[in-house]
Amino acid sequence: MTIDKPDWIRLQKALAIEEEQGFTDLVGRQYRFSEFFTLTFGKFPNDLPSYERRRWQQLATQFSNYPNLGLEDRKNLVLETSNYLYQLEQQEGEAGTRKQGGHGGQGGQGGQGRNIASLSSAAKSKKPNPKSQIVAEVSRTLAPKLDQKLKDLPEIGLRKAEKLARLSLYTVRDLLFYYPRDHIDYARQVSISELEAGETVTIVAAVKSCNCRTSQKNQKLTILELLLRDDTGKIKISRFFAGTRFTSRAWQESLKRRYPVGSIVAACGLVKGTKYGLTLEDPELEVLANPGDTIESLTIGRVVPVYALTEGVGADLVRQAIIAALPTAAHLKDPLPSGLRGKYGLMELKDAIANIHYPSDSDTLQHARRRLVFDEFFYLQLGLLQRQHQAKQIQTSAVLAPRGQLLDKFYEILPFKLTNAQQRVINDILNDLQKPVPMNRLVQGDVGSGKTVVAVVAILAAIESGYQAAFMAPTEVLAEQHYRKLVSWFNLLYLPVELLTGSTKTAKRRQIHAQLETGELPLLVGTHALIQNPVNFHRLGLVVIDEQHRFGVEQRAKLQQKGEQPHVLTMTATPIPRTLALTIHGDLDVSQIDELPPGRQKIQTTVLTSQQRPQAYDLMRREIAQGRQVYVVLPLVEESEKLDLRSATEEHQKLKESVFPDFQVGLLHGRMSSAEKDEAINKFRDNETQILVSTTVVEVGVDVPNATVMLIENAERFGLSQLHQLRGRVGRGAAQSYCLLMSSSRSPDAQQRLKVLEQSQDGFFISEMDMRFRGPGEVLGTRQSGVPDFTLASLVEDEEVLMLARQAAEKVIEIDAALERWYLMKEELKYRYERLMGGAILT
């Protein structure tokens, strides 16, 4: 509904008088001050621009609530409204001047062009308020600037800006890109007979009765009751107002006057069933002049944004602030070229920002979200690919020769034939090593797929070309495991190899340091000890890092700095979902060993309840009787290592004394010394102990082909990827192996997760499912900062958009890696990339 042009002087005079009388909600001849402005802003002026209509309607809502506001809030509303009306008056004057040819001069503003202070003085003969003049000057622009501070916006001011700062919102840009965490769809309008409990809807109906009263049970609670009727039925709805300021008879009567019998009301909310029939829970209400009128409310009949909040920052405050900032969205310049947007069917940025906050309908919301999700993925991929491109401009001193005699000898002594997948990955690596740029390749392979053999081929290629190699593992157990395997091969090739860990004796450590510096030692295996200052290589050409995600960025960089741009090969036995790999390893070349060596049998996996424990013990006895061995694994309790230690010790004691007194039962946990761990592992490896009770220390590095049963206690406390890793400790020999997942949880979600292990042996599929259940950070074993912090995007739900964003980023880098021809894109990348990665980049 629209009206003729407002009488600016009359409106400003009314505001000035209310200010003069101390914001008491003055009673005029026909209306109270608040009712007058509620009616004024309830109808749009004929020439009001469409982008101002939300603000106009917002003021109507605020003035309808004016009687409930405290003195300071009333004062702020009156000042903001006066500034806003002055802004509109100025725009109208400027538009009139332009129509007359632009020569209006000062007279173009007309007699109504006075500032707020002069209007106030006309009413109360006081000196102009310089603060009001400054605010009015700020308000003259059509829209605030992106970098404008929120405290400088008339609609927000200092007090509200301080509250918004609790959400890290300081500028207009912060507000525009503060996306809703959800939306409530009130856009569906239905008749009363169509209402169904659980749905969120809007109805338009006539008021048949209205009652406003104080609750008999709670004297501080006011209840508004409306009986609404349309052509199909009737419904009773209620709103509740808590607080003594709502209990005055005058306020209750004023509320009743808003909803007179016969008036048309739009109401929206969640349909809820009660013993009295259906109703709307905490409904939003708007009075319409006629049944067919357009609903102008910011909530009723719309898709309403729901923002993440914090204590002291309410939903209304954030929505009002967003509305104040939204006019700026129309002036956003889109960094993505129109051709790229057209190719991938992307909404323009300014439209996406406007519609992610206040979409016209659900379809528009989805298009807006898709564009903004694309942006989050695109700039991350662009940054990763740009970094990869820059890395490939660096020259390495280690350009290795093609395959030689050392590799031929190694293939001869191998007791097995390489799989096609291993050979494919080896070819990738050897091709990289012959290039003048440093290799930066990640090899993913399931448990037991043969990654170590692939790494040895790369190491031997480096040694044959006159370079040294370093092999770093995250734990002593795993480093020692690799060392033993490498020694068995290197002895046959007459090559020395040493192990350096925190447990290495001082004399041996000094010997290793000396041999490294002279070049006598071609390969050093170790833990973090490799990156210490005394470790200096003569000619480091290759760095191999196993389970690389367990090392920090700086730790990996320090090892690389031991040589002159050495080649880097990283490995992981934790299969990473494709979307997660692209996100955290997007700057690496990735190879997958997706094939197990022949002869490996499927590990029979079963989920058991505590009542089925006797059957598990029977299986363990049968396997031990045939000369096999058994693992019993207990969960690591992060909150208390002592609790973890006690549980492992108690379980060990129970199995040793009560359940399996005829067998030797060993114990392994993280708080043992290195010597104690070695002793426990060696006894199990030599079959001196038949059962090894362990915490997750056994997850990597313990390779005992004779072990055929793994019993995992409280399996629901592990992630699927970790369970798959643990399961990989058995099934390494020719005999049939078993994994028993013992769970006391009755949760359907927990049972569903564990059933995935029963159904699949595919580590990549399991990791995908793990990410769906637990999120990307947990899949890697820790909640680490290497996973980017997306605002809208989901690695689970938005895989298709991620792939398109990667494709688009590759094309852009191919055309112009420096982004010189796309200045806006370059600036946006600079702003977003560091922000998205939180300053910590995993690879």
User: DSSP string spanning 632-674?
Assistant: EE----TT-HHHHHHHHHHHHHHIIIII-TTS-EEEE-TTS-H
Give Cβ neighbours of residue 479 (< 8 Å, ≥ 6 apart).
472, 473, 499, 501, 525, 526, 527, 701
- pLDDT higher for 68 or 542? 542
Determine whether 363 is exposed, middle or buried from the number of CB atoms within 10 Å of its CB (0-12, 13-18, 19+). exposed
- Residue 574 has which token pair? 């934790």
Question: What pLDDT score does 298 carry?
Answer: 59
Provide CB contacts within 8 A for 12, sequence distance 6+. Answer: 82, 85, 86, 116, 119, 120
Give the model confidence (pLDDT) of 363-395 as tens digits.
Answer: 899 999 999 999 999 998 998 898 888 877 877
User: Could you write out the DSSP letters of every residue in 82-145?
Assistant: HHHHHHHHHHHHHHHHHHTTS--GGGGG-TT---HHHHHHHHH-----HHHHHHHHHTTSSS--
Digit-coded pLDDT (tens) for 734-755 = 789 999 999 888 788 888 888 8
- For residue 70, pLDDT over 90 is answered with no
Q: Using the predicted structure, report yes or no on whether residue 839 has a pLDDT greater than 60.
A: no
Q: Is the pLDDT of residue 774 over 70?
A: no
Q: Would you state the structure tokens that stand for residue 41, as one six-digit string?
A: 């802003």
Structural domain 405-434+450-572, CATH architecture: 3-Layer(aba) Sandwich (3.40)
Cα separation values, 161 from 172, 318, 455, Å: 11, 10, 57
Task: Give 435's DSSP letter.
Answer: S
Q: Which residue has the higher pLDDT, 294 or 102?
A: 294
- What percent of the chain stands above pLDDT 90? 26
pLDDT for residue 136 is more than 70: no
On the 0-12 / 13-18 / 19+ scale of CB atoms within 10 A, 310 is exposed
> How much of the chain is helix, strand and coil, in % rounded to 5?
50, 15, 35
Q: Residue 572: which H helix or E strand, with range?
A: strand 567-572
pLDDT, mean of residues 294-308: 70
Give the integer Cα–Cα distance in Å for 19 and 16.
5
- The span from the CA of 642 to the CA of 674, in Å, is 18
> How high is the pLDDT of residue 523?
94
Going by pLDDT thresholds of 50, 70 and 90, the confidence category of residue 139 is very low
Q: Among candidates 490, 488, 448, 492, which has minimal Cα distance to 469?
A: 490
Residue 127 has pLDDT above 60, yes or no: no
pLDDT score for 777: 53
Segment 485-494 shows an average pLDDT of: 91
Q: What is the average pLDDT value for the chain, to the nearest integer?
A: 80
CA–CA dist 832, 809 (Å, integer): 14
Question: Which band of pLDDT confidence, cut at 50, 70 and 90, is reported for residue 554?
Answer: low
Q: Which residues are 45's β-sheet partners?
A: 3
- DSSP one-letter code for 306: E
CA dist., res. 341 & res. 354, Å (int): 17
CA-based end-to-end distance of the chain: 58
Strand segments, DSSP code E, in 127-263 are 182-185, 200-214, 221-230, 233-242
Query: Which range, 134-143, 486-495, 629-638, has the best average confidence (pLDDT)?
Result: 486-495
In angstroms, rounded to a whole number, what is the distance separating the alpha carbons of residues 652 and 647?
8
Q: Give the closest residue to 116 by CA, choosing from 96, 136, 89, 100.
A: 136
pLDDT per residue as tens digits for the range 180-220: 988 877 777 889 998 988 888 888 889 999 999 898 888 88
Q: Quote the crossing angle between the two packed helices 476-492 and 405-413, to the nearest 10°.
A: 100
Percent of the chain at pLDDT exceeding 70: 83
Span 414-423, average pLDDT:
89
Q: Give the model's confidence band at 556: pLDDT under 50 very low, under 70 low, under 90 confident, else very high.
A: low
Largest CA distance in the chain: 107
Strands 497-500 and 44-45: unpaired
The Cα 457–Cα 478 span in angstroms is 19
CA distance 308 to 318: 9
Burial track 666-698 (b if 16+ CB lie within 10 A, e otherwise):
bbbbbebeeeebeebbeebbeeebbbbbbbbbb
Measure the CA–CA gap between 483 and 415, rounded to whole angstroms: 18
Above 90 in pLDDT, residue 400? no
State residue 454's pLDDT score.
93
551 band by pLDDT with thresholds 50, 70 and 90: low
Domain range list for the chain: 2-142, 183-306, 405-434+450-572, 604-760
- Stretch 459-488: mean pLDDT: 89
Residue from 502, 503, 478, 521 nearest 702 by CA:
478
Q: Give the CA distances from residue 344 to residues 371, 415, 803, in Å, rounded to whole numbers and listed in that order.
A: 9, 52, 11
628-641 average pLDDT score: 71
Does 480 have pLDDT greater than 70?
yes
Residue 294 has pLDDT above 70, yes or no: no
One fold for 183-306 and 604-760: no
Q: Give which of 48, 110, 33 is closest to 84, Cα–Cα.
A: 48
Q: Return the pLDDT at 141.
A: 37
- At 462, the pLDDT band (50, 70, 90 cuts) reads very high
DSSP notation for 507-569: HHHHHHHHHHHHT---EEEESGGGGSTT---SSEEEEEEESGGGS-HHHHHHHHTTSSS-EEE
pLDDT at 368: 94
pLDDT value of residue 227: 93
- Cβ–Cβ < 8 Å for 581, 444: yes
Distance CA 782, CA 778 (A): 5
Question: For residues 603 and 761, is the Cβ–Cβ distance under 8 A?
Answer: yes
If you average pLDDT over residues 510-539, what whole number do you get? Answer: 90
Listed range (40-44, 131-135, 320-324, 466-470) with the worst mean pLDDT: 131-135
Question: Are 316 and 808 contacting, i.e. CB atoms less than 8 angstroms apart?
Answer: no
Domain 183-306 class? mainly beta
Taking residues 305-326, what's their average pLDDT?
85
pLDDT of residue 34: 86
The region, left, alpha or beta by phi > 0 then psi within -120 to 50, assigned to residue 318 is alpha
Min mean pLDDT across 117-121, 642-646, 670-674, 698-702 is at 117-121
Provide the pLDDT confidence category of residue 641 given band limits of 50, 70 and 90. very low
More confident residue, 126 or 7: 7
Q: What is the CATH number of domain 604-760?
A: 3.40.50.300
pLDDT of residue 446: 77
- Residue 675 tokens read as 């010597």
Model pLDDT, residue 123:
31
Statement: residue 812 has pLDDT above 90: yes
The predicted model scores a pTM of 0.63
Angle of CA points 437, 438, 440, to nearest 5°: 130
Please state whether beta strands 200-214 and 221-230 pair in parallel, antiparallel, or not at all (unpaired): antiparallel
The answer to whether the CB of 200 falls within 8 A of the CB of 270 is yes
pLDDT of 239 > 70? The answer is: yes
pLDDT at 642 over 50: no
For the purposes of burial, counting CB atoms within 10 Å of the CB of 709, is it exposed (0-12), middle (13-18) or buried (19 or more)?
Answer: buried
